[in-house]
Structure 1
């Protein structure tokens, strides 16, 4: 079992100061080759410099107290810092340490990310409550004045007061939208968790949803693929957010009666997914900045739908995390096609 597990297993002989057993996963976790004997010095060299004292103290505690212990520490590898959790036992009288080492980097980074989001959320709420307090008080005061004096007010004064309320609301709605969008782009992309999935089934499910909705009365939705099944490793939830975002954008910029097509095709060791429409297209000057968070790409839909300008930026981030790439072909007046290329493995 030890040699097929992704966790590292070992038995350390305290008397002879050698590893009497270790599996291949332990070497892989520490970025070591499997040739020859494994030594404590090899592992110590990988420990993050800030955690050396911590690891030494944990080792001493284990020897003194015996029993089972759990410790978390960091190692430094060529591709960055990794977080490891060790489950250790030193309970037998033969003088051995039995250990299991697990790479918890994704879990730990997500935990840190969530803590950062919560901290920013609290700051955002404080800023909003402070910045909205005065404008809301002014709106309430103006509305109260209108309510009390509406019979005596001239039409010009009434219009001016209502215009003031309208402009104040619009200004503060923009403030709220700006802050929410700012926090959204910071927190939208976290480490992904890939699992084997049938992409054809997933895409069909998305198209079925739109085909059964009220939107099918004013748009035509279709899906096609030369393959019945395409299996690859995806974070299905996040990748389907990408597809939903692209379809949603296609709806906003496609006229009533227009067509929105989703396609998937396996080509060798790559998979190509496309979302196309025959809508109004994307102006040439907007395409270069399409995947950046730029005000130049902000535009409203055909019915005036608001756009935060963040969708494409987040889409690209999620595609990048899947080891893929995304590009667009578009011609004004004829439509737009987004293409996503993903590795099969």
Structure 2
């Protein structure tokens, strides 16, 4: 045994991750470390006898995807990590990260080396974080529309009182009206700035793409949007595909895109109007439609909607301001996902924004 091979063996044996070497031509595992027994519950001396049962535990939705990955891997064209889901006897999922870190061609065989590390706890943490972000975004929407609307009304009433009521400029009443005017204006600005800053800070974070089941990761944020808009008295509905659909998403960033599109839809939809999100599967993509029956977008503005600091920006029907950045940032995030975003709209007939993201095949 060479010094390099001995060093690798010692490091592999000490590792808590599963290390393996697989002979492709012989279709056999020629090495697996002791972590195989503690992590996967097998017996290392019987690993080849147990391999079939282990592959049977692969999540049904992952089998075709991993089979394609393996075909490309053994051609030496893939070094990227891939997530692998195994089902326990209880049918609960155990998620691993497979890292193919070495492959070497011998005279008659190809050896594929790799590690498996259990990331189930990290995935559970991420799901909880995404759910928290969904609730946070819904709460910010309520703050922006409900409290923002209340402060806007207070500002308008105060402005009216200042104009209509004759009081001495140095009187206590005039001072109180000025305080009320400043407080309502500053509170309104604070709320709207908070929502804008939250969206912008999320965009600045590094992109973290992962293969996810679209319906599973979007159901919680869409349900939170539905509950939040219900609190505000608006009508919001959503529809997800009946079958599992997989795409590579940065879940938090993509939720921000949907939240921004839904928020924009409500800005230009009168009270009593409808806003809906529909997710459907295309031949090679998953489509996200955000539809409203609001006032629509003038044809002259539509070519400029996705420009940064666009001249097409308009205040909402209830006076909501806009920076002209939201749709530009949405387009940027969608393009990071190798997708597209488009709009179909007519004045008086509402708008439909459509995002297309490639399927994870």
Q: TM (normalized to structure 2)?
A: 0.47
Q: TM (normalized to structure 1)?
A: 0.49
Question: Which structure would you say has the larger Rg?
Answer: 1
